[in-house]
Amino acid sequence: MSRFIFILSFFLVVSGGSSQIIFRNNHKAQIYVAMCRYVADGGYWMTTGWFTIGQGGERLAFEKISARDTIGYWAMTTISEEKFEGKKNLIVNDDSKFTIKYADKSETAGKCPNCTWRKFILLKLPPGTTKGTINFK
């Protein structure tokens, strides 16, 4: 019986699709980061931020990501205001820490007086990958 439980546990861990993403700041300045995630099980975009990562620092961005989820980020340095941006337009709150569900909907933006649209860089982990690092340089 214990052998069956071990095998079942192994398959649950392997097939669970739980992944981790870490942001690493190799840039010469501190960085502000907002993150996004398309939650496949719920069918919506969510943004969260602001997270500060000091020079040489790291931050766990997403602890558990489904293999079906798409994730991304928008970031800016604190010195030169250099931006790391992509093409996916999503809502952030410019004035405070935030978590916004349905961040791709204009109705959501209309309910948030301090929100603006930012262009997020999107990515997916390759199949079978359980960890990834995003390096800011």
pLDDT of residue 18: 56
Angle at 58 (CA atoms; ends 54, 61), nearest 5 degrees: 115
**Percent with pLDDT over 90 in the chain:** 47
Confidence label for 19 from pLDDT (cuts 50, 70 and 90): low
Confidence label for 14 from pLDDT (cuts 50, 70 and 90): very low
Residues 103-130 have a mean pLDDT of 87
**Which has more confidence, 96 or 63?**
96
Tokens of 16: 């669970």
Angle at 35 (CA atoms; ends 13, 123), nearest 5 degrees: 65
pLDDT of residue 88: 96
d(CA 52, CA 131): 21
Domain ranges of the chain: 28-136
d(CA 50, CA 61): 11
pLDDT of residue 128: 67
Q: State pTM to two decimals.
A: 0.79
Coil, strand, or helix at residue 95?
A: coil
